[in-house]
Amino acid sequence: MIDPIRFLMCPPDHYDVDYVINPWMEGNIHKSSRDRAVEQWEKLHHVLKDHALVDLVNPEKGWPDMVFTANAGLVLGKTVVLSRFYHKERQGEEPYFKKWFEDQGYTVYELPKDLPFEGAGDALLDREGRWLWAGYGFRSELDSHPYLAKWLDIEVLSLRLIDERFYHLDTCFCPLAGGYLLYYPPAFDSYSNRLIEMRVAPEKRIAIAEADAVNFACNAVNVDDVVVMNKTSDSLKQRLKECGFQVIETPLTEFLKAGGAAKCLTLRVTEPVRVEVHSLVSVESRTIRLEGHLLDSGLINQALDLIVENGGSFQVLNFHLGEQRQSTSSAEIKVSAPDREIMEEIMSQLIDLGALPPPQEICDVNTEPVTIPGVAPDDFYVTTIYPTEVRVQCEWVKVQNQRMDGAIAVNFTPDGPIAKCKLLRDLEISDHVIVGVEGIRTIRKTESREQRNTQEFSFMGSGVSSERRVELVVEQIAWELRQIRDQGGKVVVTAGPVVIHTGGAEHLSWLIREGYVQALLGGNAIAVHDIEQAMMGTSLGVDMKRGVAVRGGHRHHLKVINTIRRYGSIAKAVENGVIKNGVMYECVRSNVPFCLAGSIRDDGPLPDTEMDLIKAQEEYARLLQGADMILMLSSMLHSIGVGNMTPAGVKMVCVDINPAVVTKLSDRGSIESVGVVTDVGLFLSLLTKQLDKLTSPYQIAKT
């Protein structure tokens, strides 16, 4: 004979909405009717008694949510994992439930203090007993899942909840007999949805709509082919019928005000053990170390946030707080993730923040050979702008040609291993590409509070910067430009046509003539409009002296392009006296190299414009080598391209009238970038004026 099915319920004698610990309770404090609650609870009790045995636990005064016995613990066979409530409002229920289980002869397991887990509210057995679905994200901690696997000797599948209305797994997920699953997919992150789809065949998945979900249709009690719930739509009822289930609706509106319904009010205390299933858990943990001005620079928050945002969980194992303003802190953090894939994603982001494994865990990088030229192995490590070191043959090797969005190729030479950043397209068969996250570290300069403050100041995140602020930034930049020039350094300018349209051409020309610019990068347009202005006095047909559109002016730039094409290059046009001033003229005259990178919208193009983008990218990278400062003048596309090629440590000044562009480009998480939200013509005129004021003598560049 098979044992009868039993449920545990708790009469609603002391039930009320007394506090708010989930969104359903908001606005409902003391708004539920005791009489109606009792009546609804009795009805549910009655319905269940037709299909199973129902045990009762004594309600306790002062613990209004004790009616929700699903949260007492998680039962399998004669074993129970007792709940550890997340909110102190419910923690007082724990001893009463514990006593009940012990009195019934269960073996009770208790989780470590401060590791929340809310019982069958967040852990649901597959109805065939093959595995346990366990939720995390709001009430239960991911780190509780390995304990469940161990104590209950069952495979645990972790699902991350992301909609706070569905804060417990049983509010949006209900395994049914026959391998069916009733659930609300948007309550889960995409990784969890993928996991569900891998385990439950499409014809067994009953995905419900939001209207049913908010009526707690997933919060159902299933006994064989009977499904008991608060309320359902006709279409869902029909769907369940087609799958062989009979739906019994019983109103539970008073309990919905506390965020619970049928399933929450019950706990199935007979769950047969399947002898052939055993413990398996894919939750992984690793320990990392962080050092630096962890609090002042906000690094610790960034690290913890990224762990949680990516679906992981953490435990701070220790934290040594630097006490003086200058002293650094260090922390050891245990990171958990539901599986290897998510762990690697989290780890690679932590590495970018400068995280290190504990000394005893440091090992060499993993590499895989390139098998198709220009294609990396799937799991390749994607580089950042930060100086990176990789561990090869037990030694840390500095990565050369650091840039972002590349792969790291390792090659073994007689002098030892060499590691290089390479673009995917440049990978060769002889390269071994670093995969995974082992043996990689990035060096982040420890930023202090002062540095962070100046950075935030210069970001000017809040829209347009005031005039005085622009002047201050300009003074600083002028000073640095002068320094760089006097020391024979290198300044690269990337500029868009707006420089010309806003009257900046004469100032940029002056900078080039005076030796402040060592290379110019841009598109076809800046050269076209610069030459248009030099030859015809207009920029995109607008008279630059009077500021008005010239009749027929829209044709000017095409005439100009045609003229330069006739001469064969900008330099030849200069030589022949066709161009007598302007930015391109000064470049040619002063031997300042330039690269014009083409695009789909280019008119012409000019003979100098490089329409092969791979060649243009290479030329940009070549001209950027060794730059001390990059001035980015109103060109989002070219500036982003340049930013991608540039390692951390190169000062970048980004000027644009659009704050979004400035924020995007300056947000390199370091002090070396400065953003200025202003008109670029105005900026250049202030800059040249300021440079003029600085009187230190001009020395010829050393090299």
| Distance from C-alpha of 158 to C-alpha of 338, rounded to nearest angstrom | 6
Is residue 362 within 8 Å of residue 331, measured between CB atoms? no
**Which residue has the closest beta carbon to ligand ARG?**
121
- As measured in angstroms, the least distance from the Cβ of 37 to ligand ARG is 13
> Across-strand partners of 482?
none
Both tokens of 244, joined, read: 């062989």
Q: Is 489 in the site for ligand ARG (CB under 6 A)?
A: no
Residue 517 DSSP class: -
Q: Is 146 in the site for ligand ARG (CB under 6 A)?
A: no
Instruction: Kindly tell me which residue out of 32, 79, 140, 171 binds ligand ARG, with binding defined by CB under 6 A.
Output: 171
- The region of 3-11, 126-134, 164-172, 395-403 touching ligand ARG under the rule CB under 6 A is 164-172
Using the minimum distance from each CB to ligand ARG, give the nearer residue, 168 or 638.
Answer: 168
- The region of 27-35, 255-263, 485-493, 693-701 touching ligand ARG under the rule CB under 6 A is 255-263
Using the minimum distance from each CB to ligand ARG, give the nearer residue, 154 or 265.
Answer: 265
Using the minimum distance from each CB to ligand ARG, give the nearer residue, 90 or 485.
Answer: 90
- As measured in angstroms, the least distance from the Cβ of 309 to ligand ARG is 24
- As measured in angstroms, the least distance from the Cβ of 661 to ligand ARG is 45
Q: Is 22 in the site for ligand ARG (CB under 6 A)?
A: yes
For residue 408, give the 3-state DSSP assignment.
Answer: strand
Q: Is 21 in the site for ligand ARG (CB under 6 A)?
A: yes
Active-site pick, 264, 421, 587, 654: 264
Which class for 671: exposed (0-12), middle (13-18), buried (19 or more C-beta within 10 A)? middle
CA angle 514, 516, 520 (to 5 degrees): 110
Using the minimum distance from each CB to ligand ARG, give the nearer residue, 259 or 312.
Answer: 259
- As measured in angstroms, the least distance from the Cβ of 224 to ligand ARG is 22
- As measured in angstroms, the least distance from the Cβ of 270 to ligand ARG is 18
Is residue 454 within 8 Å of residue 670, measured between CB atoms? no
Instruction: Kindly tell me which residue out of 12, 73, 116, 121 binds ligand ARG, with binding defined by CB under 6 A.
Output: 121
Using the minimum distance from each CB to ligand ARG, give the nearer residue, 70 or 478.
Answer: 70
Q: Is 116 in the site for ligand ARG (CB under 6 A)?
A: no
CA angle 260, 265, 266 (to 5 degrees): 140
Using the minimum distance from each CB to ligand ARG, give the nearer residue, 258 or 648.
Answer: 258
- As measured in angstroms, the least distance from the Cβ of 65 to ligand ARG is 4
Residues 643-672 that bind ligand ARG (CB under 6 A): none
Q: Is 260 in the site for ligand ARG (CB under 6 A)?
A: yes
Q: Is 539 in the site for ligand ARG (CB under 6 A)?
A: no
- As measured in angstroms, the least distance from the Cβ of 215 to ligand ARG is 14
Using the minimum distance from each CB to ligand ARG, give the nearer residue, 232 or 670.
Answer: 232
Q: Is 168 in the site for ligand ARG (CB under 6 A)?
A: yes
- Within its chain, how far is the Cα of 578 from the centroid? 52
| Distance from C-alpha of 165 to C-alpha of 168, rounded to nearest angstrom | 9
Residues 6+ apart with CB under 8 A from 657: 498, 634, 677, 678, 679, 680
> Would residue 243 show up in a list of annotated catalytic residues for this protein?
no
Instruction: Kindly tell me which residue out of 48, 70, 498, 521 binds ligand ARG, with binding defined by CB under 6 A.
Output: 70
| Distance from C-alpha of 466 to C-alpha of 464, rounded to nearest angstrom | 6
Using the minimum distance from each CB to ligand ARG, give the nearer residue, 171 or 666.
Answer: 171
Total number of residues shown for the chain = 703
Sign of CA dihedral 134, 140, 143, 147: negative
- As measured in angstroms, the least distance from the Cβ of 208 to ligand ARG is 16
DSSP labels for 313-377?
EEEEEEEE---STT--EEEEEEEEESSHHHHHHHHHHHHHTT-B--GGG--PPEEEE-SBTTB--
Q: Report CA-CA distances (Å) from 664 to 79, 306, 674.
A: 54, 19, 11
- As measured in angstroms, the least distance from the Cβ of 229 to ligand ARG is 13
- The region of 144-152, 173-181, 259-267, 397-405 touching ligand ARG under the rule CB under 6 A is 259-267
Using the minimum distance from each CB to ligand ARG, give the nearer residue, 250 or 685.
Answer: 250
* 603, 608, 609, 612 alpha-carbon torsion, rounded to 10°: 130
Instruction: Kindly tell me which residue out of 68, 381, 510, 683 binds ligand ARG, with binding defined by CB under 6 A.
Output: 68
> Would residue 264 show up in a list of annotated catalytic residues for this protein?
yes
- The region of 179-187, 256-264, 304-312, 620-628 touching ligand ARG under the rule CB under 6 A is 256-264
Please give the radius of gyration of the chain, using alpha carbons only, rounded to the nearest integer: 34
Residue appearing with tokens 């397991």: 109
Own/partner contacts of 132-136, CB < 8 Å, gap of 24 or more, are 132/76, 132/156, 132/157, 133/157, 133/159, 133/169, 133/173, 133/175, 134/158, 134/159, 134/169, 135/159, 135/160, 135/161, 135/168, 135/169, 135/173, 136/160, 136/161, 136/313, 136/338
Using the minimum distance from each CB to ligand ARG, give the nearer residue, 163 or 344.
Answer: 163
Could you give the string, one character per residue 88-107, with x where binding to ligand ARG holds by CB under 6 A and - elsewhere?
Answer: --x-----------------
* Beta strand spans in 4-82 (E): 6-9, 53-56, 73-76, 79-82
Both tokens of 511, joined, read: 């900078």
Residues 28-67 that bind ligand ARG (CB under 6 A): 65
Secondary structure element (H or E) that encloses residue 134, with its range: strand 132-136
DSSP labels for 143-202?
GGHHHHHHHHTSEEEEEEB--GGG-SGGGTEEE-GGG-EEE-GGGB-HHHHHHHHHHS-G
- As measured in angstroms, the least distance from the Cβ of 128 to ligand ARG is 22
Using the minimum distance from each CB to ligand ARG, give the nearer residue, 171 or 388.
Answer: 171
Using the minimum distance from each CB to ligand ARG, give the nearer residue, 65 or 431.
Answer: 65
Instruction: Kindly tell me which residue out of 258, 290, 511, 657 binds ligand ARG, with binding defined by CB under 6 A.
Output: 258
The reply to whether omega before 659 is within 30° of 0 (cis) is no
- The region of 73-81, 126-134, 163-171, 307-315 touching ligand ARG under the rule CB under 6 A is 163-171
| Distance from C-alpha of 507 to C-alpha of 283, rounded to nearest angstrom | 60
CB atoms within 10 A of CB 112: 9
Using the minimum distance from each CB to ligand ARG, give the nearer residue, 168 or 668.
Answer: 168
Could you give the string, one character per residue 187-216, with x where binding to ligand ARG holds by CB under 6 A and - elsewhere?
Answer: ------------------------------
- The region of 252-260, 568-576, 610-618, 676-684 touching ligand ARG under the rule CB under 6 A is 252-260
Residues 262-281 that bind ligand ARG (CB under 6 A): 264
Is residue 490 within 8 Å of residue 628, measured between CB atoms? yes
Total of residues contacting ligand ARG (CB under 6 A): 15
Active-site pick, 45, 145, 168, 557: 168
Which candidate, 103, 200, 83, 90, places its Cα nearest to that of 144? 83
Q: Is 71 in the site for ligand ARG (CB under 6 A)?
A: yes
Residues binding ligand ARG (CB under 6 A): 21-22, 65, 68, 70-71, 90, 121, 168, 170-171, 258-260, 264
For the annotated catalytic residues, the residue numbers are: 168, 264
